């Protein structure tokens, strides 16, 4: 049973980290445009190119 | 997919619409050159579909400068609503094209909300160039209005996402601990106690935070004196949590935190999906409304002014084909206005100088100036909008089937739970803590988990299926009301008919039409547009000059009024004359015609057992003819808005549940009063706001299908509720007898939810039998 002393807090900490990560994704508005995100991933150059028309 | 270099393709290379040459119009040619010049022609390979909707229209009228406020760091951000964004390639094109501008720092388009944010450095007037750039690509832009913002900025939705994430997360972790307890029969007392506390540590905050949206809705219902589904759910969740806490304190065999948290997570998932489906519909409605440009050309102002800002006494210029947005009197000369939106008349009416012009009418003749008599907020349109609000309040609150079931179900479940508690405590003589366990087990097993997602699941699937067919259901209870409708009241102009002039067959030849349509391409006049619609492949002609209110001229050819073409005056109004050197004069006649599917839709309503009547503001012969052609027996002509509303009231008194369909300003009060209402997508914004359903698709048959689908959905919801009841008949005695463990409860809950969801998926089946 000694292992539980370690494993349970470890599980809780890892869980809390996961939760914090979720809250961060929510705060940075990553769920606002799910359709757009699904399409964007297909394009390599999704970062707008700076510079001039060629 | 469009291929970039198919030289004599039958479709336009830019918009994909029908075309004689490479491009259907100069706008598309310019857009293609622009895209190619930016090195973005990969767009044409990447996009999903090209249906001709990407044809650049005239530049946006609004002044976008004031819409680009300065940020803290000196840059400006412009928010636009962009219609026509349909796939990832579109957002890619828009973002890349804007980013190529040297002063643009950031451009981001949102595919779900059609919102484009552009951050740039420089003068406010640059906003007009940037909006113009997007418009030149073929997308229609409008200011991101507060209405759009309301439909898309969805604070409640975000809160729901957060609650769902936390609840799902907590439920999984509590389950992990619970499984250890279920499996660990040989677990020591102290260890089990520690696990109980661990479950409580995770479970309590999860229930509190995750359950908050449910508790709040339950509280709102209670305060309004209504026992809704959320009440039942909240009580079940809270009772389970309290019982589990009591079991934790006394170190009982099991805690039930897993059940409580899983229940919360499931319910939130149902609610999240429900909201997402409706949000999509609401956004599309807001998009349609935003595109109805609300800008007015005021004499003496450099740029168009938003209609709300025009003061009485201002002189405004109304171009051909433009909709008059304010009450005004005609300054000089005569004007020909299509008043169908405000009166239902299908023929344009002539107005003389000094006559009052109705707001909402469309200019069918030459541009004219008029003096505004009332500001937007005091005008006739605003008065109508206030009337609507009152009518909507009297519509009263509709009790949904889920709430009806809950009001029967909740008292029974609670009586059973209390009886179980008293029975075990007083008759069987166990401690009150021990008696709490079977009582709460009965509560959580009956807890309308299946019931609470039974109805939303069906609605989500149905609203989604209808959305794909162009029927936007924005109101939460509209589907149920649609299912119970038994009488259809149709407006004529714009609803049963197209609401815009259509070319009638005549003595002209295909060649005449093609040549005339080439000329007509240069004009915005409604009849010219109708001619182009009749012959979309007509090539573009250079050197066309328009004489406002008279006609078009190119070379020796003239298209327009009879006098303009040197012919004898033609009093019929809805016609265009066409003369060319060396050919006999040709006349094209137009009329507002029935929608092609009008008779079919009426027949479909009849088959569904609904009676249909026609209620129009137009003159009797026209209404009678339309009714006969569409197969409608009962009709009323020359009905003004009050008469329309009165007719709906009368039908309601007879106990009929009326589905009202209308597009005009004059229909709005009737739409708001009806049991359920629908407006075509090209209808006036007032009619769309007053309606529960907006038809983006052409024609009325989608509405008949929507009725059938709503009924099917209602049947499925009833089946689901019955199924949930059936489950309880078996499960409750087990729980009352004290045999239920959290494991059994979890199994029952999961399997009933699964059964209900699978049944609900049938609502989206591609083909439902609605034409017997």
Mean pLDDT, range B361-371, rounded to an integer: 83
Question: Which residue in B has a C-alpha nearest to residue A38's C-alpha?
Answer: B88
Contact yes or no for A35 and B99 at CB 8 A: no
Average pLDDT, integer, range B273-294 = 74
How many structural domains comprise chain A? 1
Is A54's CB within 8 Å of B112's CB? no
* Domain map (residue ranges) of chain B: 1-144, 155-282+398-457+713-764, 295-378, 460-498+596-710, 499-594
Residue A51 pLDDT exceeds 50: no
Domain B460-498+596-710: what homologous superfamily?
Answer: HAD superfamily/HAD-like (3.40.50.1000)
Residue A21 domain flag: yes
Q: How far is CA B334 from CA B2, B100, B354, B366, B481, in A?
A: 48, 48, 10, 9, 46
Average pLDDT estimate for A5-19: 89
Catalytic (active site) residue B73: no
B690 to each of B321, B343, B385, how far by Cα in Å?
25, 17, 9
What is the per-residue pLDDT for B111?
84
Which H helix or E strand runs over B604? Answer: helix B598-607
Which range is least confidently modeled, B99-103, B183-187, B291-295? B291-295
Looking at the complex, does the CB of residue B751 fall below 8 Å from at least one CB of chain A?
no
Which residues of A fall below an 8 Å CB-CB distance to B?
1, 4, 8, 11, 15, 18-19, 22-23, 26, 31-36, 38-40, 42-43, 45-46, 48-54
Q: What's the gap in Å between the CA of B91 and the closest CA on chain A?
A: 8
The structural architecture, per CATH, of the domain B1-144 is 2-Layer Sandwich (3.30)
Average pLDDT estimate for B487-493 = 91
Fold match flag (B295-378 vs B460-498+596-710) = no
Cα–Cα distances in Å, from B414 out to B277, B448, B770?
Answer: 33, 12, 40
Question: Largest alpha-carbon pair distance within chain B?
Answer: 110
Mean local confidence (pLDDT), B132-159: 78
- Interface touch A26/B161, C-beta < 8 Å: yes
Rg (CA), chain B: 31
- Asked if B260 reaches chain A (Cβ–Cβ under 8 Å), the answer is no
**pLDDT class of B586 with cuts at 50, 70, 90:** confident
**Any idea which of B78-82, B118-122, B541-545 has the lowest mean pLDDT?**
B541-545
Give the gap in angstroms from C-alpha B111 to the nearest C-alpha of chain A: 5
Higher pLDDT, B120 or B346: B120
B255-269, B401-415, B579-593 — which is least confidently predicted? Answer: B401-415
Instruction: List the domain range (segments joined by +) for residue A34.
Output: 17-42
B149 close contact with A: CB closer than 8 A: no
Q: What is the pLDDT, as a whole number, of residue B685?
A: 79
Average pLDDT of every residue of chain B: 83
Q: Does some domain include residue A26?
A: yes
Residue A6 lies in a domain: no
Indicate the fold that domain B295-378 takes in CATH: 2.70.150
Least confident window among B141-150, B253-262, B322-331, B455-464? B141-150
Substitution target in B49, B92, B180 with the highest count of A β-carbons within 10 Å is B92
Confidence of residue B1 (pLDDT cuts 50, 70, 90): very low
Measure CB to CB from residue B99 to each of A1, A34, A49 and give the nearest one.
A49
In this complex, do A40 and B91 lie within 8 Å of one another by their Cβ atoms? Answer: yes
Q: Position of tokens 């304010």?
A: B326
Whose CA is closest to B224, among B399, B25, B436, B85?
A: B399
CA torsion sign, B493 to B498 to B504 to B508?
positive
Question: Which residue is associated with the tokens 């001229």?
Answer: B553
| Most confident range, picked from B414-418, B581-585, B751-755 | B414-418
- Single pTM value for the model: 0.78
Least confident of B73-82, B165-174, B225-234: B225-234
Q: Do A33 and B98 touch (CB under 8 A)?
A: no
Considering only B142-151, B200-209, B498-507, which range has the smallest mean pLDDT?
A: B142-151
Q: What is the pLDDT of residue B8?
A: 41
Q: What is the residue-wise DSSP string for B378-420?
A: GSHHHHHHHHHHHHHHHT-----HHHHHHHHHHHHHHHHHHHH
The stretch B134-144 carries a mean pLDDT of 84
The DSSP call for residue B310 is P
Is the pLDDT at B489 greater than 60? The verdict is: yes
Per-residue pLDDT, B650: 93
The mean per-residue pLDDT over the stretch B211-227 comes to: 86
pLDDT at B491 over 80: yes
> For chain B, what percent of residues have pLDDT higher than 90?
13
Which of A11, A42, A53 minimises the CB distance to B88? Answer: A42
Determine, for residues A36 and B111 on separate chains, whether the beta-carbon distance falls below 8 Å: yes
Q: Catalytic residue among B63, B338, B403, B491, which?
A: B491
Question: Band of the pLDDT at B486, cuts 50, 70, 90?
Answer: very high
Confidence at residue B59, expressed as pLDDT on a 0 to 100 scale? 65
Which pLDDT value is given to residue B43? 84
Q: Chain A to chain B, count of Cβ pairs less than 8 Å apart?
A: 77
Q: Is residue A7 part of a domain?
A: no
- Residue-level pLDDT at B7: 40
Question: Do B152 and B94 meet the contact criterion of CB atoms below 8 Å apart?
Answer: no
List, for residues B311-360, the tens digit of each pLDDT value.
888 888 887 777 888 888 888 888 888 887 777 777 778 888 888 888 88
Cβ–Cβ gap B162/A32 under 8 Å: no
Cβ contact B739:B731 at 8 Å: no
Quote the pLDDT of residue B767.
Answer: 64
B178: distance to nearest CA of chain A, Å? 13
Asked whether the beta carbons of B386 and B378 are under 8 A apart, the reply is no
A48: in domain: no
CB contact under 8 A, B161 and A52: no
pLDDT cut 70: percent of chain A above it:
78
Mutation pick from A2, A22, A45, A53 vs chain B, by most beta carbons of B within 10 Å, is: A53
Spatial separation of the C-alpha atoms in residues B692 and B679, rounded to whole Å: 8
pLDDT tier, B607 (very low <50, low <70, confident <90, very high otherwise): very high
As a CATH number, domain B499-594 is 3.40.1110.10
Give the Cα separation of B412 and B224 in Å (integer): 21
User: Is residue A1 one of the residues assigned to a domain?
Assistant: no
Q: Write down the pLDDT at residue B708.
A: 92
Q: How far is CA B586 from CA B510, B531, B565, B567, in A?
A: 12, 13, 10, 11
Mean pLDDT for all residues in chain A: 78
């Amino acid at each position: 049973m000694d292992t539980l002393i370690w494993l349970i807090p470890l599980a809780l900490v890892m869980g809390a980290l996961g939760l914090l990560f979720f809250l961060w994704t929510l705060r940075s508005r990553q769920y606002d445009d799910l359709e757009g995100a699904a399409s964007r991933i297909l394009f390599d150059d999704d970062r707008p190119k700076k510079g001039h028309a060629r | 997919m469009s291929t970039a270099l198919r030289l004599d393709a039958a479709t336009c290379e830019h918009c994909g619409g029908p075309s004689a040459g490479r491009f259907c119009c100069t706008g598309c040619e310019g857009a293609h050159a622009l895209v190619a010049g930016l090195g973005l022609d990969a767009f044409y390979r990447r996009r999903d579909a090209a249906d001709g909707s990407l044809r650049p229209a005239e530049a946006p009228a609004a002044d976008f400068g004031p819409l680009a406020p300065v940020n803290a760091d000196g840059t400006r951000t412009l928010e636009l609503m962009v219609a026509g964004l349909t796939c990832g390639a579109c957002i890619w094109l828009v973002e890349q094209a804007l980013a190529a501008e040297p002063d643009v720092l950031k451009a981001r388009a949102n595919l779900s909300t059609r919102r484009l944010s552009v951050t740039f450095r420089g003068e406010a007037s640059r906003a007009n160039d940037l909006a113009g750039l997007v418009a030149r690509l073929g997308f229609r832009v409008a200011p991101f209005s507060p209405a759009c913002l309301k439909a898309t900025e969805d604070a409640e939705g975000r809160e729901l996402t957060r609650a769902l994430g936390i609840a799902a997360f907590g439920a999984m972790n509590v389950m992990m601990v619970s499984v250890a307890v279920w499996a660990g029969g040989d677990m020591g007392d102290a260890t089990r106690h520690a696990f109980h506390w661990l479950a409580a540590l995770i479970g309590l905050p999860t229930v509190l935070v995750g359950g908050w949206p449910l508790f709040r809705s339950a509280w709102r219902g209670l305060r309004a004196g209504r026992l809704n589904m959320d009440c039942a759910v909240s009580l079940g969740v809270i009772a389970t949590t309290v019982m589990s806490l009591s079991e934790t304190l006394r170190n009982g065999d099991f805690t039930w935190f897993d059940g409580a948290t899983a229940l919360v997570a499931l319910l939130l998932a149902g609610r999240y999906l429900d909201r997402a489906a409706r949000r999509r519909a609401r956004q599309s409605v807001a998009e349609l409304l935003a595109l109805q440009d609300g800008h007015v050309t005021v004499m003496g102002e450099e740029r168009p002014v938003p209609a709300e800002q025009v003061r009485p006494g201002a002189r405004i210029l109304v171009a051909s084909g433009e909709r008059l947005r304010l009450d005004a009197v005609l300054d000089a000369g005569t004007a020909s206005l299509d008043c169908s939106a405000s009166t239902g008349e299908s023929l344009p009416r002539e107005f003389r100088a000094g006559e009052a012009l109705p707001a909402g009418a469309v200019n069918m003749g030459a541009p004219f100036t008029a003096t505004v008599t009332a500001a937007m907020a005091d005008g006739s349109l605003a008065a109508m909008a206030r009337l609507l609000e009152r009518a909507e309040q009297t519509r009263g609150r509709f009790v949904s089937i889920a709430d009806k079931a809950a009001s029967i179900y909740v008292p029974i479940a609670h009586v059973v739970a209390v009886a179980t508690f008293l029975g075990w405590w007083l008759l069987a003589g166990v401690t009150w803590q021990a008696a709490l366990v079977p009582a709460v087990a009965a509560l959580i097993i009956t807890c309308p988990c299946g019931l609470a997602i039974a109805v939303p699941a069906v609605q989500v699937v149905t609203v989604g299926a209808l959305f794909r067919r162009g029927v936007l259901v924005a109101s939460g209870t509209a589907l149920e009301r649609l299912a119970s409708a038994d009488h259809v009241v149709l407006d004529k102009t714009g609803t049963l008919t197209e609401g815009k002039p259509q070319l009638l067959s005549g003595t002209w030849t295909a060649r005449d039409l093609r040549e005339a349509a080439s000329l007509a391409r240069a004009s915005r006049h409604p009849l010219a547009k109708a001619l182009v619609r009749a012959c979309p492949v007509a090539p573009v002609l250079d050197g066309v000059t328009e004489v406002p209110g008279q006609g078009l001229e190119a070379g020796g050819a003239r298209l327009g009024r009879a006098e303009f073409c040197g012919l004898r005056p033609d009093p019929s109004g809805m016609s265009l004359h066409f003369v060319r050197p060396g050919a006999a004069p040709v006349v094209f006649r137009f009329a507002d015609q029935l929608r092609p599917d009008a008779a079919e839709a009426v027949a479909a309503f009849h088959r569904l057992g609904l009676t249909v009547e026609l209620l129009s503001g137009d003159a009797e012969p026209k209404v009678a003819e339309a009714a006969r052609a569409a197969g409608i027996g009962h009709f009323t002509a020359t009905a003004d808005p009050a008469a329309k509303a009165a007719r709906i009231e009368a039908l309601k008194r007879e106990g009929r549940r009326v589905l009202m369909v209308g597009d005009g300003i004059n229909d709005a009060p009737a739409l708001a009063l009806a049991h359920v209402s629908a407006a075509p997508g090209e209808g006036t914004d007032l009619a769309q706001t007053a309606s529960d359903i907006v038809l983006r698709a052409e024609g009325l048959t989608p509405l008949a299908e929507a009725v059938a689908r709503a009924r099917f959905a209602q049947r499925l919801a009833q089946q689901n509720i019955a199924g949930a009841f059936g489950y309880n008949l078996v499960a409750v005695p087990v729980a009352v007898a004290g045999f239920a463990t959290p494991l059994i409860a979890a199994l029952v809950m999961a399997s009933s939810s699964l059964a209900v969801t699978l049944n609900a998926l049938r609502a989206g089946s591609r083909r439902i039998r609605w034409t017997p």
